[in-house]
Amino acid sequence: MPTSEWKPPWVDGRTKLLGIVGDPIEHSLSPALHNAVLAKLARNWLYVPVPVSIRRLPAFLRLGGDLGFIGCNVTTPYKEAVIKVASPSDAETARVGMANTLSWKRDTVAACGTDGAGILAWMKRNGLDDRPFGVLGFGATARSLVHRAWAAGHQPELIVSQRPAVVRRQLSRWKTDPRRPRLAGAAPEVASLKDLASAETGDARSGPDQISLWVSTWPPGVIPPVELLARFPKGAVVLDMNYGEGRSTLAAWARDRGFRAADGLGPLVEQAALSMSHWVGEAVPTDLYLKANRIPKGRIRPVK
């Protein structure tokens, strides 16, 4: 892997493109993160923001390769929409119905996800990979995390969703899908906020007071009811997948109340390294992203 720093004085006719597709994408750190690493890798590639409306998304996916794109990341709210046009590259992507990484090859665009793997890598980096954990929400990122963790034998103890019946049906379909990876062990418990806030957790193996790591995939500004938060055990860690000024409100709330918390920057860097590894065809270490972007390791740890 090249390591000499390469900074092109201009973009020329041989420059290949990477990017991030979404709407909005103004808050995204991905262009800065990836371009700093591309300079270290001495690649004549450029990573650009690609604001695309949902109406024009299918056209962009069909034409991306012709426009010089090697690949793109996908941010909310398009992680599910791209699967309708792109081809899932593995059974996991097909099952969870989401992708955050696209690759153009010849006349096709392949889709896969690094969200779940990136969150698990963040857990391991911070010594949290053996903790029982819960997941707030069951959108695209949460599904990626739950499936990847379950396939690795470290499924969450509890998923909190506004539509628990829908989530249970989804988990049941994953469990019975004959394709690999097979999902062994019991499915995670699922409960609604209303049930948990009133302590009506049924036969759940582990209530909120037993879960020492919480991963929130809810949008900025969404904070669970006080009745639920009061049941987080002492010493619990809260990961708010939002990042950026004023966006990680749950992490701020948790720190104000004495919990250790982190925003989504750490998982974002892990996911970025996994996406770049996919595009270049060899492992790109997360530490290269931290070094190239001058991100102190303490910045991505959960702190009070």
Residue 8 lies in a domain: no
User: Do 177 and 245 belong together in one domain?
Assistant: yes
Nearest to 20 by CA among 67, 76, 68, 80: 76
User: Do 203 and 90 belong together in one domain?
Assistant: no
User: Do 35 and 138 belong together in one domain?
Assistant: no
Residue 3 lies in a domain: no
Residue 4 lies in a domain: no
The pLDDT of residue 5:
54
- The owner of tokens 């990573």 is 47
**DSSP strand E in 89-231: where?**
101-105, 108-112, 133-136, 158-160, 189-191, 213-216
Amino acid at 49: P
- The owner of tokens 């270049």 is 280
46's tokens: 């450029």
48's tokens: 């650009």
Look up the CATH number of the domain holding residue 88: 3.40.50.10860
Domain residue limits at 159: 116-264
Residue 6 lies in a domain: no
Number of structural domains in the chain:
2
Indicate if 175 belongs to the active site.
no
User: Do 120 and 255 belong together in one domain?
Assistant: yes
Look up the CATH number of the domain holding residue 176: 3.40.50.720
User: Do 162 and 240 belong together in one domain?
Assistant: yes
Residue 1 lies in a domain: no
Can you give the pTM of this predicted structure? Answer: 0.93
Contact yes or no for 212/132 (Cβ under 8 A): yes
- The owner of tokens 């995390």 is 145
254's tokens: 């948790």
16, 79, 84, 175: which is the annotated catalytic residue?
A: 79
Per-residue pLDDT of the chain (304 residues; tens, 9 = 90+): 544 555 554 688 889 999 999 998 988 999 999 999 999 998 999 999 999 999 999 999 999 999 999 999 999 889 999 999 999 999 999 999 999 999 998 889 999 999 999 999 999 999 999 999 999 999 999 999 999 999 999 999 999 999 999 999 999 999 999 999 999 999 999 999 888 866 554 444 558 889 999 999 999 888 878 778 888 999 999 999 999 888 899 999 999 999 999 999 999 999 999 999 999 999 999 999 999 999 999 999 999 9
User: Do 71 and 122 belong together in one domain?
Assistant: no
Radius of gyration of the CA atoms of the chain, in A: 19
Residue 5 lies in a domain: no
